[in-house]
Amino acid sequence: MSAAKPHGASPPRGDAGRTEGSPRIEGSPRIEGSPILVVEDLRKQFAAHRARALVRAVDGISFSLHRGEILGLVGESGCGKTTAGKLIMRLIEPSSGSIKVEGFEATSLGRDEDIAYRRRVQMIFQDPYASMNPHFKIKDVLEEPLIIHGIGASRAERMEMVAQVMEKVKMSPVADFMDRYPHMLSGGQRQRIATARTLILSPSVIVADEPVSMIDLSTRAEILHLMKTIQKDMELSIVYITHDLSTARFFTDRIAVMYLGRIVELGTQDEVIDNPVHPYTRALIGAVCEPEAGRVGLARDLEVKGEIPSASDIPKGCRFHTRCLFATEECASLPEPELADIGGGHWHACRRWREIPMKQ
């Protein structure tokens, strides 16, 4: 296990009522203030076709998510953010490491517990066009999770729940939308249904993988706004996976910046975006355009060089040193820096951060 544990206070173990060998998700003791999701040194390697080395998609990440918090996992393609989301969802098995939801280990569940886990941890997928069965009416899309998890005694009771959740995501008049098919809805409406489908199970944790990246810009804000309102009302805990720092700034409480399978910086969104420490975070922020005239015509100096290396050939030492403008020989030769706290829950993994000139 890594020396750094960026969880704030060490979480009390929530395994008081745990039966030996059969971790249960339901009925777990709820400890106020303790994280709802704790990920520790999580790793996932894939055996790539024809490649000699393993692809280290997620290469030892640790973080925690508190009740009612939105944590952004931010990074470029191939940084492992989606793999991390799938691991948390248990859509794929981790190579090593631990995922605890409400104190219970999720990496060694049997089939029944697995189903119970899925009720507690729900996902909103990126593509609202592909994530719904086109033969299902909206009411069927929303009823299906209830049937799978044996919720509701009768169809009438389930339909009542479906109607309630549709109100919650502002798909009203409900009766109008219930009998429609997904293709009759816009992308924004579909993503509301996708949100409703997760909410109907009252999950503890929602993993939202780029939930608005395929939605038109005028609707994007509306969906984010709705999700945030519901999140506050219901005290939902969300892992928001995105490549888009601007929406992360609006939507999240904390941001974890990932690079090549590792978290390189983690902190409150204000800290990470206003006072970035890691050169990679700074490069990412520097690359984002703003809708303001003042910046036009400035040739932007990107604080990064080259292209992202392959996850099957991760550089030795600091994995960012090959692209870093501030790297020294030490960055390549010394062991990889662990996440270190600089106060206020702001963590970063850069050995030279004090020596890097701040850019205005």
Partner 1 sequence: MRDTMSCALAEPVLSVRGLKLHYFTSKGAVLALDGISFDLYPGETLGLVGESGCGKTTTGLALLNMPSAPGRIVEGSIVIDGTQVVGLGDSALRREVRWSKISMVFQGAMNCLTPVYTVRELMVETYREHQPSGKPGGRAGPLDHAGLEALMSTYLRLVGLPPAVLDRYPHELSGGMKQRVVIAMALFLEPKVVIMDEPTTALDVIVQAQILNLIKGLRRDLGLSYLFITHDLATEAEIADRIMVMYAGKLAELGTSEQIFGPSRGPAHPYTQRLLASTPRLRRRVSELAFIPGAPPDLIDPPKGCRFGPRCSFARPTCVANEPPVAELAPGHLVACWKAMGDPDYERG
Closest CA to 14 of 40, 44, 35: 35
C-beta closer to partner 1: residue 89 or 283: 283
- Where are any strands of DSSP class E within the chain? 37-46, 55-65, 70-74, 96-101, 104-105, 121-124, 205-209, 237-242, 254-259, 262-268, 340-341, 347-348
Among residues 73, 273, 324, 331, which is the contact residue for partner 1, using CB under 8 A?
273
Is-cis flag, bond preceding 173, omega within 30?
yes
In this structure, the dihedral spanned by the alpha carbons of residues 43, 47, 48 and 54, taken in order and rounded to 10 degrees, is 60
What backbone phi and psi angles, to 5 degrees, belong to 213? -70, -20
Minimum gap (Å) between residue 251 Cβ and partner 1: 9
**358 binding partner 1? (CB under 8 A):** no
By three-state DSSP, how is residue 135 classified?
coil
From 76, 113, 127, 144, residue interacting with partner 1 (rule: CB under 8 A): 76
Element (H, E) at 139: helix 138-148
Q: Is 360 in the site for partner 1 (CB under 8 A)?
A: no
Q: Check residue 32 for interaction with partner 1 (CB under 8 A).
A: no
DSSP one-letter string for 13-35:
P--TTPBTTB--STTPPPPTTS-
Place of tokens 């050169």: 279
**Nearest CB to partner 1, comparing residues 15 and 253:** 253
Among 4, 174, 224, 234, binds partner 1 (CB under 8 A): 224
Establish if 296 lies at the interface with partner 1 (CB under 8 A). yes
Question: Least distance from C-beta 334 to partner 1, angstroms?
Answer: 25
Indicate the residue among 9 and 250 with the shorter CB distance to partner 1.
250
| Closer residue to partner 1, CB minimum distance, 91 or 287 | 287
Q: Give the closest residue to 37 by CA, choosing from 111, 118, 104.
A: 104
Residue 286 lies near partner 1 (rule: CB under 8 A): yes
What the block records as the tokens of 37 is 């999701």
CB of 76 to partner 1, least distance (A): 4
The answer to the question of residue 101 lying near partner 1 (CB under 8 A) is no
By CB under 8 A, is residue 133 in contact with partner 1? no
243 binds partner 1 (CB under 8 A): yes
Q: How far is the CB of 126 from partner 1 (least distance, A)?
A: 13
Q: Does 284 bind partner 1 (CB under 8 A)?
A: yes
Considering beta carbons, is residue 113 or 222 the nearer one to partner 1? 222
Pairing of strands 96-101, 37-46: antiparallel
Among 150, 291, 335, 357, binds partner 1 (CB under 8 A): 291
Looking only at residues 301 through 340 of this chain, which bind partner 1 when binding is defined by CB under 8 A?
302, 304, 307-308
Of 116-124, 232-240, 242-250, 324-332, the segment contacting partner 1 by CB under 8 A is 242-250
CB of 13 to partner 1, least distance (A): 36
Q: Which residue shows structure tokens 């409900």?
A: 174
Secondary structure letter of residue 183 according to DSSP: G
Strands laid side by side in the 205-209 sheet: 121-124, 205-209, 237-242, 70-74, 254-259, 262-268, 347-348, 340-341
Does 299 help bind partner 1 (rule: CB under 8 A)?
A: yes
> Cβ of residue 164: shortest distance to partner 1, in angstroms?
23
Q: Tell me the residue type at 176.
A: D
Asked if residue 294 binds partner 1 (CB under 8 A), the reply is: yes
Cα(87)–Cα(7) distance, integer angstroms: 19
Q: State the residues that interact with partner 1 by CB under 8 A.
A: 76-77, 186, 216-222, 224-225, 243-247, 249-250, 269-270, 273-274, 283-297, 299-300, 302, 304, 307-308
